Chain A
């Protein structure tokens, strides 16, 4: 038992938390700008798939990563267009993107690789600094960057104002539509980064539904973390560690708790997080509210 809590567990936690941190930062930006984003799951899946497809087409995992992030940004654009320009229901739009991403990736696996279930292996994103993936570093750096952006820049203040009260923001000449577009597209790109890490960062292939609810867990982390970057990142780490413990426990013979129960652990934590039992901050006041029609 003593070797259960090892460096291996720690790195596993980081590996599990990284995609969550990316998606959570994306979700945070979108929600802080006032757009509900339950499409994180679909955006991650899109990023994960197109990273593999891009690597397959170009032979370069770097270009693959860029293509993956780009594809997820397109998903962000679709969500933004539906939610902001068409003033559609944001939950419906998010659900549509999630379903579309699941269907499209499964379909394209058939088209490109001629089989169902998963892709062939492609080259991984290289590790740097002695075995640490570059995207793990990026995720760690991202959190204070998002914090600085939101709380220390003019653009960040405008983003939050758009999310708190679109009417008040417009009354002082802030372009709410523009700010929300920026935030939602950025959330697509960031969720895409999380997806890229899942497929060609951590592994080297894509399988159907490989995000397995991580987009929703990331959204739970945003809520759990009180819509702040450090809070959301801490929540993502907690959820990531739950996943890591479960993986480690499955690999440890004679672990006293059933692995099936442990598999449920991160999802249970997510449920607790979104029930409102542990809520320390209210949601942005203008979340889901449309700006004035002109």
Chain B
């Protein structure tokens, strides 16, 4: 069994990166970055998407070699050529997309690649070792459980355990909260503080200011490949960090007036979907969308969200129930029928459903609009007109691309999303379904998307916002419903919703039991 991380002198620097430069063809990802992480601290690395955080950590972890600059681990200069050398130097990485094998058990995943010298595995001993290490760090993991059966938060603990098993004293976590529920995020914070207490050093990559404040001791901000500054978390503020990160002052909370809800425009009753194995994947007794309001839908991924949205977008016909838009039944209509009825759809999967990546932007603007006046005439595509429209939309929605003829693939995620939003809002819809509209976007683009949604609401349109980011739902929604196991288990007015309460409902626990626990 590897030694547990020992306590190093608190004054020492665990990681020093000096003037690190990494160039890729056509772009300088890291342009003279400086980073100093003290031993025994939790150090947040804050920056927008594409700022160079991940590149920097990949340089540190030996996945890339820096073109210039030097890296010191515990005072020693290092030149890693692969991750194994980084691991031997005491580094560990928890990837954003877990490097775990679902079919393997916890113990198998943890020992994989570090089985020891024997060719024949002693599974009983391995399982015992892994179990002991897990309980030593309070990770609460069953070494013989299959990883694929576990919730995401638990899987993340397996990744952390593996890094500890490899003897890591410096742990890099790449956007570790991206897939977690609010409760799982709190649990993660507890684990990280525990690791710090045991002498571990943690580098926490994030673009969320709230997480910086919640868990870090110090924070380094990176923008466009350069270090902007390092702050002591307790002595800085969210607006200051946001400005450092984006380069201009940012509205962190969406500015919006009280909603003035109008008539019910979409109404669904007893919507039931039956999945495989005859299990109910959706069972909505009643859902209503009103003009002039944003309805937030929150819940843990896989609790009927995709079914609900597919039903509301006309991609799936429910097995039973009624659904009306402006008083007319739309059951049995396909997506085109729903679009005709006034539904616009900003899908979660912008690459799979939102865009055809190899099409130019103007052809992507055409998608879903072929039957509308102006786009086509007598069966012919009016490409010139659509190009002009696309150019206008790009200016209005701040889509940064060379021209309307650029392939969608060449755009950043934020610009792709803005193009989809432009296309959908340009239809003048009555109902906008916005699914995870800011997933993977940086602060500037998020601000833009949020403002667009609020403006749409203010034009007396109905907006449904589904997001796994509870803060986003709470910030924007006038009304919030919680989905759990395909049912609506709670409904709140936007102003009265409480994080902890929503979180518990999302986890499928009734409010009464938590009150009893309190």
Chain A residues with CB under 8 Å of chain B are 152-155, 157-158, 160-161, 164-165, 167-169, 171-174, 282, 284-285
Contact A168 B121 (CB under 8 A): no
Q: List 10 A-B contacts (CB under 8 A).
A: A152-B120, A154-B115, A160-B104, A164-B102, A164-B103, A168-B112, A171-B99, A173-B82, A284-B103, A285-B102
Contact flags B71-100 to A (C-beta < 8 A → 1, else 0): 000000000001110010000000100111
Known interface pairs A161-B104, A164-B102, A164-B103. Does A169 touch B119 (Cβ–Cβ under 8 Å)? Answer: no
Contact A154 B120 (CB under 8 A): yes
**8 Å CB interface, B122-137 against A:** 123
B405 adjacent to chain A (CB < 8 Å): no
**Bound state CA distance, A230 and B102, in angstroms?**
22
Chain B residues with CB under 8 Å of chain A are 82-84, 87, 95, 98-104, 108, 112-115, 118-121, 123, 162
Chain B residue nearest to A281 in the complex (CB)? B103
B163 to chain A, nearest CB (A): 11
B102 to chain A, nearest CB (A): 7
- Can you add 4 more A-B contacts, CB < 8 Å, to A152-B120, A173-B84? A154-B119, A158-B112, A161-B112, A285-B103
Known interface pairs A152-B123, A153-B119. Does A173 touch B99 (Cβ–Cβ under 8 Å)? Answer: no
B82, B99, B120: which contacts A168 (Cβ < 8 A)?
Answer: B99
Contact A164 B101 (CB under 8 A): yes
Contact B121 A154 (CB under 8 A): yes
Overall SS of chain B's interface: loop
Residues of B contacting A168 in the complex (Cβ-Cβ under 8 angstroms): 98-101, 112
Residues of A contacting B101 in the complex (Cβ-Cβ under 8 angstroms): 160-161, 164-165, 168-169, 285
A281 to chain B, nearest CB (A): 9
**Bound state CA distance, A153 and B126, in angstroms?**
13
B95, B108, B118, B123: which contacts A171 (Cβ < 8 A)?
Answer: B95
Chain B residue nearest to A156 in the complex (CB)? B121
Contact A172 B114 (CB under 8 A): yes
**Bound state CA distance, A64 and B451, in angstroms?**
78
A128 to chain B, nearest CB (A): 29
A75 to chain B, nearest CB (A): 28
B61 to chain A, nearest CB (A): 10
Residues of B contacting A284 in the complex (Cβ-Cβ under 8 angstroms): 103
Residues of B contacting A153 in the complex (Cβ-Cβ under 8 angstroms): 119-121
Residues of B contacting A171 in the complex (Cβ-Cβ under 8 angstroms): 83, 95, 99
Residues of A contacting B87 in the complex (Cβ-Cβ under 8 angstroms): 173
A157, A169, A174: which contacts B121 (Cβ < 8 A)?
Answer: A157
The 3 closest A-B pairs by CB, nearest first: A172-B113, A171-B99, A168-B99
Residues of A contacting B103 in the complex (Cβ-Cβ under 8 angstroms): 160, 164, 282, 284-285
**Bound state CA distance, A153 and B120, in angstroms?**
4
B131 to chain A, nearest CB (A): 18
A35 to chain B, nearest CB (A): 17
B41 to chain A, nearest CB (A): 26
B150 to chain A, nearest CB (A): 15
A155, A172, A282, A285: which contacts B112 (Cβ < 8 A)?
Answer: A172
**Bound state CA distance, A234 and B100, in angstroms?**
31
**Bound state CA distance, A160 and B115, in angstroms?**
14
Residues of A contacting B100 in the complex (Cβ-Cβ under 8 angstroms): 165, 168
B82, B83, B99, B120: which contacts A167 (Cβ < 8 A)?
Answer: B99
B99, B118, B121, B123: which contacts A172 (Cβ < 8 A)?
Answer: B99
B144 to chain A, nearest CB (A): 14
Contact A174 B102 (CB under 8 A): no
Contact B112 A164 (CB under 8 A): no
B302 to chain A, nearest CB (A): 18
Chain A residue nearest to B101 in the complex (CB)? A164
**Bound state CA distance, A174 and B120, in angstroms?**
17
Residues of B contacting A167 in the complex (Cβ-Cβ under 8 angstroms): 99
Residues of A contacting B104 in the complex (Cβ-Cβ under 8 angstroms): 160-161, 164
Chain A residue nearest to B87 in the complex (CB)? A173
Counting chain A CB atoms within 10 Å of each CB, the highest count among B82, B83, B121 belongs to B121
**Bound state CA distance, A200 and B402, in angstroms?**
69
**Bound state CA distance, A91 and B115, in angstroms?**
34
A283 to chain B, nearest CB (A): 10
**Bound state CA distance, A157 and B112, in angstroms?**
8
